[in-house]
Amino acid sequence: MTQARQVLDARDDLAVAAAVAGLDLPPNLRTTFESGDLESAAAEAGIERAIVDQIVAAEQSGAATAASPLVAIGLLGQEPMAQLAAARSSFTAGDLSVAQARAIAAREAWAGASDLGGLRLRASIAVGLVAGLIGLLVIARLRGPRRRERKWFETGTR
């Protein structure tokens, strides 16, 4: 009976955390609890709570970095919001391993976006500078012979 009460308390805690996060609980815990396997039900409650926490952490990571231009540059080609939406729907459907993987992927994308954005910006500036220098060298090379020709005409000597 004590173990059943612990599982029910964990379920209540999970329900509050999920409601705060705007998530619907999957049927997994209920099904496991009703089967009578209280150890598995307790483990399931812990797993579901951990995934709710990971989804919340990913959302907070996205909110904390949303206004940075470097983050926007770093997120080019990535879609952490889509990963987060997939994590939420997978959690509600009871596909906990996918929900966890997607939440982690979203959080990691946001966490590394500023550094990646800075790297991309510096690389773009470096490429621009190199292209500018090459352009100046080409222009100087093209202008060089004309100056010599003009000088020859002006002096009358070769």
What does the pLDDT profile of the chain (158 residues) look like in tens digits?
888 888 888 999 999 999 999 999 999 898 888 888 889 999 999 999 999 999 999 988 887 777 788 888 888 888 999 999 999 999 999 999 999 999 999 999 988 888 888 899 999 999 999 999 999 999 888 887 555 555 555 665 55
Amino acid at 8: L
Q: Residue 29 and residue 14: Cα distance in Å, rounded?
A: 10
Domain ranges in the chain? 2-113
The C-alpha angle with vertex 41 and arms to 39 and 46, in degrees rounded to 5, equals 100
Q: How many CA atoms lie less than 13 Å away from 55 in the CB half-sphere? A: 30
pTM recorded for the entire structure? 0.71
What does R_g of the chain's alpha carbons equal in angstroms?
Answer: 30
Neighbour tally for 52: CB within 10 Å: 24
Q: What pLDDT is stored for residue 63 in this prediction?
A: 78
